[in-house]
Structure 1
């Protein structure tokens, strides 16, 4: 590991922990890779503040997967001067929609939480994770690893993170202000955060490169860790520019 490089913060998604990034991080040994834990933090704001408060270095590279990508954008909103590189993986940027779409999302998440409380986290994960991976991964050792990861959380943590996602802010106006080298990565078969959304994101971020990971679902850092690490290595090799020029508060 080259200690002269800024650390690489890898932000996990909903019910994910260090295991979500472990294999991709191992393929990037020259970087100081760190994965924060969300615990029972129940807003994206609180998660972003946690990332900033727990990182003593003045600057860092920032990668976020799924919910972690939304947290990454909130970190950029607060402290653009600290972010040297930004990667957004299988994620989104818009707030909860209005009307029927919002009610459908609330109901779906509430049903999963109810199953977690009644049958346990692993039983809930068996249903939920089936739609998060490529169909070829269901029932494999990797799928069991994902269930193990989900089982390390509890229903209260799940409830807190659902609350955070339902209250997510809209980051559309932030995207055009990002000035650091940015990787927008999406798996071809991601049905949770589809490629079309990432194409829009990449079009709105001036310094962005879009990378598509083939034969993977939403959990691309676990399903295709070498492909993800290769894309991140290329991204991290891009020269540092000034970070973003947003007017967000500094930390």
Structure 2
């Protein structure tokens, strides 16, 4: 039996993938990526904690963890859904900005959430009080220590390109048209490294596509499930 493992991103929890969890034709497990300071360690821990064949869904940093899991255990990964993610290593000038965010988090997590979240959203959703309140609650519950560990993991992230060229499973890449952090061209770059990949860009969503436009996202994922896995699942 294949398990759909839902992997959240930076200071995020299971609510990011709630729509997919509720509609999944596969048994679902929620990944904990709060304990490690390296992407490679997160991937190894999840592979140890979740045995058997896996279908991976990773959002943002979680997409990087999914790609690393596929590199470490290609025979166990049946497919990947990568949302609002990236594949490059650390960029010049990135470290000081990340370290400043760590310092702010330890000083004032509410201030960090207020500064970090709006640019992550479609500008049209910034004034959506319910959405912003839910995401703010999520960030505050994760806390400054988890934020620091995950930022350190991102600062030391591996370049995923060499591993991607070895991936043979089907991959669905999805992002928001208004995602300025992980834009559509980046997802097309990832797809170009893969033999079985497709890219969908959903309008009216930023970096938090899975909670900004869950219905649109699920239309895409359901179609991909039907094409790639549902028939095989029913026959199993």
What is the TM-score normalised by the length of structure 1?
Answer: 0.87
Which of 28, 33, 36 is equivalent to 2:28? 33
Q: Unaligned regions of 5+ residues in structure 2, if any?
A: 230-236
More helix by share: 2
Aligned length: 228
1:20 aligns with 2:16: yes
Q: Relative contact order (C-alpha < 8 Å, sep 6+): which is higher?
A: 1
Residue in 2 aligned with 1:247? none
Which of 137, 147, 169 is equivalent to 1:158? 147
Instruction: Give deviations 1:52-101, integer Å, cap 9, x for gaps.
Output: 01113x2111111100000001100111111111111111111113xxxx
What is the TM-score normalised by the length of structure 2?
Answer: 0.92
Deviation at 1:29, TM superposition (A): 4.3
Q: Distance in 2 between matches of 1:114 and 1:29?
A: 38
Which of 56, 61, 75 is equivalent to 1:62? 56
Residue in 1 aligned with 2:68? 74
Describe how 1:87-166 pairs up with structure 2 within 5 A. 87-97=81-91, 102-103=92-93, 105-119=94-108, 121-140=109-128, 141-166=130-155
Misfit runs of 4+, over 4 Å? none
Q: Unaligned regions of 5+ residues in structure 1, if any?
A: 241-251
Residue in 2 aligned with 1:194? 183
Residue in 2 aligned with 1:11? 7
1:45 aligns with 2:40: yes
